[in-house]
């Protein structure tokens, strides 16, 4: 039992974890930031999103790492608490909480940075803009060439009604 108001819930933690090797019953494949195993602490379990340090791209079985985790459901977890990370019925890592981080802590898995650039506020669209089809320029050709425009404006059923050309190889 605890005194009233002596425990608080937390959903963002920093921890040292050991990733079990395949021989120890853990994963055989590595994982990266954004991995979401179940975190088991005492009798509670919740999904947790794991964020690796910036200088580490992947965590391999057998690694000792300092990670940050965002719990999907707040727990009364404390500094020094031991927990297990499980996936599909097997324990994949064991850990110890080193810090309880403020709820406002922003954790970034780095996934959205891959090949994309940040949008500027001027590039936003409204709901009515999203419904309009994007305008395209006609295919490159002569200035008076209407073939590309005719194909674009032709009804879709016109292709079905057109006679099929037969090739000599098909006979």
Q: Which domains does the chain have, with CATH numbers?
A: 10-102 (2.40.30.10)
Per residue in 27-45, pLDDT tens?
999 999 999 999 999 999 9
Alpha-carbon distance values, 82 to 12, 15, 63, 65 (Å): 15, 9, 17, 15
Residue 19 near residue 65, CB atoms below 8 Å: yes
The C-alpha atoms of residue 29 and residue 46 are separated, in whole angstroms, by 22
pLDDT higher than 50, residue 113: no
CB atoms within 10 A of CB 18: 17
Question: Which one has a higher pLDDT value, 62 or 118?
Answer: 62
Q: Mean pLDDT across the stretch 149-158?
A: 53
Length of the chain: 171
As a whole number of Å, the CA-based R_g of the chain is 28
């Amino acid at each position: 039992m605890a005194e009233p108001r002596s425990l608080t819930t937390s959903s963002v933690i920093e921890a040292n974890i050991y990733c079990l090797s395949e021989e120890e019953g853990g994963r055989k494949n590595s994982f990266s930031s954004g991995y979401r195993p179940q975190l088991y602490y005492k009798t509670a379990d919740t999904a947790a999103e794991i964020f690796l340090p910036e200088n580490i791209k992947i965590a391999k079985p057998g690694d000792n790492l300092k990670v940050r985790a965002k719990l999907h459901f707040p727990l009364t977890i404390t500094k020094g608490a031991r927990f297990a990370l499980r996936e599909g019925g097997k324990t994949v890592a064991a850990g110890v909480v080193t810090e309880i981080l403020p709820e406002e802590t922003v954790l970034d898995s780095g996934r959205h940075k891959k090949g994309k650039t940040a949008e500027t506020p001027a590039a936003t669209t409204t709901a009515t803009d999203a419904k309009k089809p994007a305008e395209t320029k006609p295919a490159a050709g002569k200035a008076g060439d209407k073939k590309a425009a005719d194909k674009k404006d032709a009804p879709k059923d016109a292709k079905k009604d057109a006679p099929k050309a037969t090739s000599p190889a098909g006979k």
